[in-house]
A = this chain, B = another copy of it.
Amino acid sequence: MASNGIRDKVAIVGMGCTPFGEHWDRSVDDLLIDAVTECIGSVPGVEKDDIDAFWLGTMGSGSSGLTLSRPLKIGYKPVTRVENYCATGSESFRNAAYAVASGAYDCVMAVGVEKLKDSGFSGLVIPTPANDGTESELTAPAMFSLLAPSYSKKYGVDADTMKEVMTHIAWKNHVNGARNPRAQFRSEVAKETISCSPLVAGQLGIFDCSGVSDGAAAALIVRAEDAHRYTDRPIYIKALSFVAGPAEGPLDPAYDYTTFTEVVRCAEDAYAQAGVKDPRTEISMAEVHDCFTPTELVLMEDLGFSERGQGWKDVLEGFFDLGGGLPVNPDGGLKSFGHPIGASGLRMLFEMWLQLRGEAGERQLASPRLGMTHNLGGAPGACVSFASIVGAERD
């Protein structure tokens, strides 16, 4: 069976998020301190010492809890490091939430950080350990590029239209990011610039790919019944779900690169926990893992926002635009923020935090009720998926 969930048992009462970007002058320590300090500062009366335990998500910017405990000088507290590919930051949050819901701790912090720019990571080369020769050797853009022609073929979308769909997704996310002072890229980009950008892999141009950046984010989590002691506008966790798939896609002749089964199962679990029957109408907004533009397209269907084979129409009709029926990546997404792996999941929750509290400025949506965040890690056919649903009201 799936998760029973911990609906409305825990709440977020404070958050912090650094600007994402090329922080050549900031170390991992600096980014952690910035995010945690902002998070604590967002909750009047709370001091660092009030936090009972920490969870740290990082893929490669450190090992063990010392990565956080040392720069933060938190004394002798628990710090757990979690890693789960590109869902690393979200996993920090999920495990922290369970610890609070268990009663083990009253007040915990989930933190995520990644510093990629000075690590040599380009997004194109992944250092893989020696293996038995059956592992995929494709780059991330190459693996995700397979989605576009597969989708085109299956649903009869011609190549020009497909390019238009991908371009719309990149354009939309940059429009949103241009309205976000914390984004790495804060300019709108003309559709022509996007569609004519140099190809990286398959049909993916540079603007179909998210960037590489540094960043950190943090969330303070308490039991729901305690939330109003910390803030008058907490946000409540309605669902947390995670799936690690069988990773058999690349070996399975039936896998056609037009869906992430892991995401479908993960979303089903999340909706069941939150009591969501029709995500297209019940979810007010979503931050999803737009690592590449065709990923976002496929996710719209896997998350149940669009019917199968219809997502491309919804994209072109602006259904997922900031002013559309279900705004997706209102903060600008990975497209505008880059993807510092351990931080991204918490950056998505930060947008939910702002939107549900009415603090999203130029990007503010009208009365959002339920927000969803989603991460994907790995590659089509072999991935992990995380989903959360949060809301401003405790049911």
Q: Is A150 an interface residue (CB 8 A)?
A: no
A85: contacting residue among B5, B52, B64, B266, CB under 8 A: B64
Near B by CB (< 8 A), chain A positions 1-31 give 1-6, 9
Segment at the B interface, from A92-100, A138-146, A203-211: A92-100
Q: Is A102 an interface residue (CB 8 A)?
A: yes
Near B by CB (< 8 A), chain A positions 122-181 give none
Interface flags for A42-85 (1: CB within 8 Å of B; 0: not) read 00000000001110000100011110111001111111111111
Which residues of B are found within 8 Å of A105, using beta-carbon distances? 3-4
Which residues of B are found within 8 Å of A262, using beta-carbon distances? 76
For chain A, the count of residues having a C-beta within 8 Å of the partner chain is 62
Known A-B contacts A66-B247, A76-B243, A78-B241; A53 and B3 likewise in contact (beta carbons under 8 Å): yes
Q: A1-B106, A64-B384 are in contact. List 17 more A-B contacts (CB 8 A).
A: A3-B52, A3-B105, A66-B247, A69-B245, A69-B246, A69-B247, A70-B247, A73-B246, A74-B244, A74-B246, A76-B262, A76-B265, A79-B84, A98-B99, A98-B102, A99-B102, A102-B102
A selection of 15 A-B contacts at a CB cut-off of 8 Å is A3-B78, A4-B103, A4-B105, A63-B83, A65-B84, A66-B85, A66-B244, A76-B243, A76-B262, A81-B83, A81-B84, A83-B83, A100-B102, A101-B101, A102-B102
A-B residue pairs, 6 tightest by C-beta: A65-B244, A101-B102, A78-B242, A69-B244, A79-B244, A76-B265
Chain A residues with CB under 8 Å of chain B are 1-6, 9, 52-54, 59, 63-66, 68-70, 73-85, 91, 94-95, 97-106, 240-248, 261-262, 265-266, 377-378, 382-384
